[in-house]
Each structure stands twice: as structure tokens, then as C-alpha cells.
Chain A
Amino acid sequence: MSESTTLFLYDLATYLLNGITQGSVYALIALGYTMVYGIIQLINFAHGEFYMMGAFIGFFALVSGVPIWLALPASMLGAGLLAMVTERLVYRPLRNAGRIPALVTALGMSLFFQYAGQALLGATPRSFPQVIPTKTYQWGELYVTNIQLLIIFCTFVLMVFLWWLVNKTRVGKAMRATSFNHHVAELMGIDTNKIIGLTFFIGGAFAGVAGILVGMYYNTIDPTMGMIPGIKAFVAAVLGGIGIIPGAVLGGLVLGVAENLVVGLWVSTYRDAIAFAILILILLFKPAGLLGSPKREKI
């Protein structure tokens, strides 16, 4: 193998690794989008804001001296509870108002959280405390940081947990039953409002942990940080097939890798363009998503 080929392969591996890291973050956020859609057919455009809230909860926990192993669950819990409260106070009263009013409300909530965040926390980006000193590992010309590994590891653990929850537990089966039909689930004795609240909690918690992890990865956070990743995660969820849990993971990873390949091998300013190009292509040619077929379950 010539030297330039070897270097190209190292580059490629680096882009793939960066893509998987980025894609893991998209996947964590996309899961909330897809679960909420699966259970109440709402595109919760405010979902990216729970990622921002998770980052800030983590930030305040860490600067006040809370250790990282406690700050991670704290941001999950906080963002999850905020998502649950949003459902209870905003989306539940609109549950039977139709899809368009709910969608417009979700857009409104997204802006509300961004501007309320700026009003309360200030618009200036804050630098995230470096609680874990970045270490870089090297194999040949391939570099990987401990933060990247942490992101991939956390994502993997949470995916396995979610798979177990949805497929193996009573409450997970109740979630699947509710996503099929609320009335029929109620006829089983399932309190569907509780199940919907729980779905928002899990979605918010996953976005929250993505927020704190990204804070550590990029070292900077601000109240509007949720917007672009939120939209990207929405693209990921649609790409995988909205409502389908494994689809959100696949969509997130494909999107993250595609972005990083374009950035690395082509033009770096096309990063955002590629995401929306993918969205347009998938809507044109396979609107049900990569894993979607009209009969798939929706959660």
C-alpha cells in the first residue's frame, strides 16, 4: 500500500470516528423525537431545547463542585422532568386539538425556551468546565479522545437500556400498546397519561445527557445551542423512520457519518447543507424512512 493510500485510510477512519461520535449525539436526541412521535404523533420541535437544558444543568452542577458521575444523572433527571412538565402543562391540554395546533405550539415552545434561556442565563456562550482532562489516544495516524469514547460508550449503554425497557418490561410493553391506540391501551387498564409522561421523561433525559456530553466535547454552551442539533436529530429520526426506535439510532449514525465525510473529503461549510439534502432526498424517495414501512410499529 502506498503512503498516500495509507494516509487516506487513516483520514477516512478519523472522519468515521468523528461521525460516529457526532451521530451518537444525534441518535440520543432523535430517540426522544421518535418516541414522542410514536406515542402521540407529535413532532416536538422543542425537543432540542431539552438538550440545551441538560447541558446547563450539567454546567451548573459541575461549577458548583458536583462530581461528573453525579452531574450526568442530574442532567438526565432535570431535563427529563422539564420535558414531562412541558407535556403536562402545554401538550396535554392540546392533545385533541389536532396535529397542526400541536405542531405550531411545539415550534412556539422551542422559541420560548431559547429566549427564556437567553433572558435567564444570558446570551453569551459559557465555557464548559473541563472536569475530565482530555486525553488523546493514537493508533498510527488515527486519533481518538477519551471524551469521544465516553460519548460513544454512554450512548451504547443507554441504547441497550432503552431496548431492554421497551421490549422486556411491563411498562415498555404498555408504551408499545399505547403507541398502537390510546383507547385500546386504556381498556387494558393502562393509565395512558402516565405512559405518555414517562415517554417525555425518557426522551428529555436522553437529550439532557447528550447536552452535558457535548458540553464536555465542544467546551462551550449557550441557550440557543439546541436549535441546530434539534433539527438535525429531527432529520435523523425521519431518515430512520419516525416512530421507529432503532431507526432513530441508525438515522443519527448515518447522518453523523455523512456530515463528517462531506466535511473531511469535500467542503467543510456543507456540513449543514448535507443534513437537509438528506432530508429532502428521503422525503422524496422513501418518506417512511430507512426502516419504515406503513405497517411498522410506532414508538
Chain B
Amino acid sequence: MSSPLLEIRGMHIAYGNIRAIQGIDLHISKGEIVTILGPNGAGKTTTLHGISGLIPIAKGKIIFEGKHLSGLAPHKIVAHGISQAPEGRMVFPELTVMENLEMGAYLRRDDRIHEDRDKMFALFPRLKERGRQLAGTLSGGEQQMLAIARAYMAAPTLLLLDEPSLGIAPILVASIMEAICEINRQGTTILLVEQNAYAALKIAHRAYVLANGTIFMEGPAKELLENKEIQKAYLGH
């Protein structure tokens, strides 16, 4: 097997005295959709923050395309090819939809920006209709689409998505998950953090289950979908 795109070894993260992440190992290969599941407070968002450099890691290594990322400022990590659609969408409310997408492509100087924007408009036609609207006036679902599209505009090798189904109308969850699949089919590797385990396992190749800051189970998504323990804890069977 070729070396993974992203490899995390023995990562620890602490908030003061609270040890949020206690030594996790995780790897993602090119082309995969990998999901991290787990209850509230398990450390899912913290893991993504660690990868993006938003919080310093206390111990361990983050290796992306053979390069060590730990200790870099978040904007440098974006330059390395990892972008993130953060939890709670966090679109810039006083910027228009277009300007939000422009900010997503902040570091790019290439001539494919328009092409990528059109791709996102094809995937989320509503964003095109609302291009000149302030992002703060969009519905929750539309803001989530914008958050994903904005992260995609960085042309990342690895796209981190933090709870894209959170607070979204159930009818939209399926279409957002479908869009994530489509982005993956076009060649972007995806790390998806979700509380909606069922929706995530249906589109992911592999999954990690986090509990209390450690990895409690991992494996192919199909196996986890059929696992009795997982079904009981997360799938409501």
C-alpha cells in the first residue's frame, strides 16, 4: 500500500487541564471518504482543529503528503492543501455569497478559480441564484452548502467537513451527503466528522469511532453499519 495522504500518530490535545484527545492514530488515503463518528464531546471537532492548526497539539505527529504540519499557522496549512468547512457553517454573514467563495479561494492565483466556482454552482444551484445576497440572509441549509463550496474553492487535496448535517432540515441532509459524494468522485479526499452516523456511514469508505478522546473502533463503513454495538449506540436500532 502506498503511504497515506494524511497520517496522524499519537496525537494528544489538551485544553488547559482537560485532555481532549489522548493519543489517536488515524490515516487517510488519497480518494477516500473517511468519517469520524462519536457522541458530543468525544473530541471530533478538536481532532479537526488539530489538523487545521487552530489548536496546538500537545504530543504526536501530523504528516500530510510526507510533510509535518504540526506547529504551522492555520493559513499555512491551507496553503499545503487542507481546507475546512467548520462546525456551525460560519459563513461570513456580511459578505455576499460570491465574496464568501472569493475568500475560499484567497490563496489561489491560478486561472481555474472560475471553473471551480461554476462546478460548485452546478452542484448547488441555489448558491448561484443567491450570488449577490449577503450570506447571513441564507437559510441554514444554504449556508451549509456555501460553507462546503467555500472550503472547496481553496482547491484542497483534503477537505475537512465538520458536522455538515448539523441543524439542517432532514430533507436537505441527503442532498448535502450526495454533494459530498460528488466532490469526492471528482477527486477530493474527504474527512467527514458527523453525529449523524447513519448518513455518514452510508457515504464513507472507512470510519473511526471516537469516545472520550480515544479511538474506540475503526473499520470499513459497511462493517460498522452492520456492527451490533454501533447499531445500538449510534444508529438507534
Q: Do A and B actually bind?
A: yes
List the interface of chain A (C-beta within 8 A of B). Answer: 170, 173-174, 176-177, 180-181, 183-192, 295-297
Contact B95 A176 (CB under 8 A): yes
Q: B30-69: contact bitstring with A at CB < 8 Å (1 yes, 0 no)?
A: 0000000000000000000000111000000000000000
Contact A184 B92 (CB under 8 A): yes
Bound-state Cα–Cα, A127 to B95, Å:
47
Indicate whether B83 reaches chain A with its CB closer than 8 angstroms.
Answer: yes
- A173/B86 contact (C-beta < 8 A), A183-B54, A186-B74, A187-B78 known: no
Bound-state Cα–Cα, A174 to B102, Å:
10
Indicate whether B106 reaches chain A with its CB closer than 8 angstroms.
Answer: yes
Q: Provide the residues of chain A in CB contact with B92, threshold 8 Å.
A: 176-177, 180, 184
Choose among B84, B90, B150 the residue that contacts A181 (Cβ–Cβ < 8 A): B90
Contact A189 B154 (CB under 8 A): yes
Choose among A173, A186, A295 the residue that contacts B102 (Cβ–Cβ < 8 A): A173
Choose among B52, B90, B102, B150 the residue that contacts A170 (Cβ–Cβ < 8 A): B102
Min CB distance, B88 to chain A, in Å? 10
The winner among B83, B94, B154 for most chain A CB atoms within 10 A is B94
Q: Provide the residues of chain B in CB contact with A170, threshold 8 Å.
A: 102, 106
Contact B52 A187 (CB under 8 A): yes
Bound-state Cα–Cα, A6 to B201, Å:
82
Min CB distance, A182 to chain B, in Å? 9
Choose among B53, B106, B136 the residue that contacts A190 (Cβ–Cβ < 8 A): B106
Find the A residue at minimum CB distance from B91: A184
Judged by DSSP, the binding face of A is helix
Bound-state Cα–Cα, A29 to B25, Å:
53
Q: Provide the residues of chain B in CB contact with A184, threshold 8 Å.
A: 86, 90, 92
Contact A189 B90 (CB under 8 A): no
Find the A residue at minimum CB distance from B104: A188
Choose among A173, A176, A189 the residue that contacts B75 (Cβ–Cβ < 8 A): A189
Contact B75 A191 (CB under 8 A): yes
Q: Provide the residues of chain A in CB contact with B136, threshold 8 Å.
A: 295
Choose among B83, B95, B102 the residue that contacts A187 (Cβ–Cβ < 8 A): B83
For the complex with contacts A184-B90, A186-B54, 12 further pairs of A-B residues with Cβ separation under 8 Å are A170-B102, A173-B95, A174-B103, A176-B94, A176-B95, A177-B92, A181-B90, A183-B54, A183-B86, A187-B84, A188-B150, A190-B103
Q: Provide the residues of chain B in CB contact with A296, threshold 8 Å.
A: 94
The winner among A180, A188, A189, A191 for most chain B CB atoms within 10 A is A188
Number of A-B contacts (CB under 8 A): 65
- A189/B94 contact (C-beta < 8 A), A183-B54, A184-B86 known: no
Min CB distance, A208 to chain B, in Å? 28
Contact B75 A192 (CB under 8 A): yes
Contact A174 B106 (CB under 8 A): yes
Bound-state Cα–Cα, A190 to B76, Å:
9
Interface residues of B in 98-113 (CB under 8 A from A): 99, 102-104, 106-107
Indicate whether B73 reaches chain A with its CB closer than 8 angstroms.
Answer: yes
Contact B52 A189 (CB under 8 A): no
Bound-state Cα–Cα, A223 to B150, Å:
48
Bound-state Cα–Cα, A185 to B86, Å:
11
Q: Provide the residues of chain A in CB contact with B154, threshold 8 Å.
A: 188-189
Q: Provide the residues of chain B in CB contact with A186, threshold 8 Å.
A: 53-54, 73-75, 78
16 contacts between A and B (CB under 8 A): A173-B99, A173-B102, A174-B103, A174-B106, A176-B95, A181-B90, A183-B74, A186-B54, A187-B84, A189-B106, A189-B107, A189-B154, A190-B75, A190-B103, A190-B106, A192-B75
Indicate whether B93 reaches chain A with its CB closer than 8 angstroms.
Answer: yes
Min CB distance, A175 to chain B, in Å? 11
Bound-state Cα–Cα, A173 to B103, Å:
8
Q: Provide the residues of chain B in CB contact with A181, threshold 8 Å.
A: 90
The winner among B53, B90, B106, B136 for most chain A CB atoms within 10 A is B106
Min CB distance, A166 to chain B, in Å? 11
Q: Provide the residues of chain A in CB contact with B79, threshold 8 Å.
A: 189
Interface residues of B in 192-221 (CB under 8 A from A): none
Bound-state Cα–Cα, A188 to B79, Å:
9
Min CB distance, A241 to chain B, in Å? 14
Contact A189 B78 (CB under 8 A): yes
Choose among B54, B74, B94 the residue that contacts A180 (Cβ–Cβ < 8 A): B94
The winner among B54, B95, B103, B150 for most chain A CB atoms within 10 A is B103
Find the A residue at minimum CB distance from B103: A188
The 7 closest A-B pairs by CB, nearest first: A297-B94, A186-B74, A189-B78, A189-B107, A189-B106, A184-B90, A188-B103
Find the A residue at minimum CB distance from B135: A180
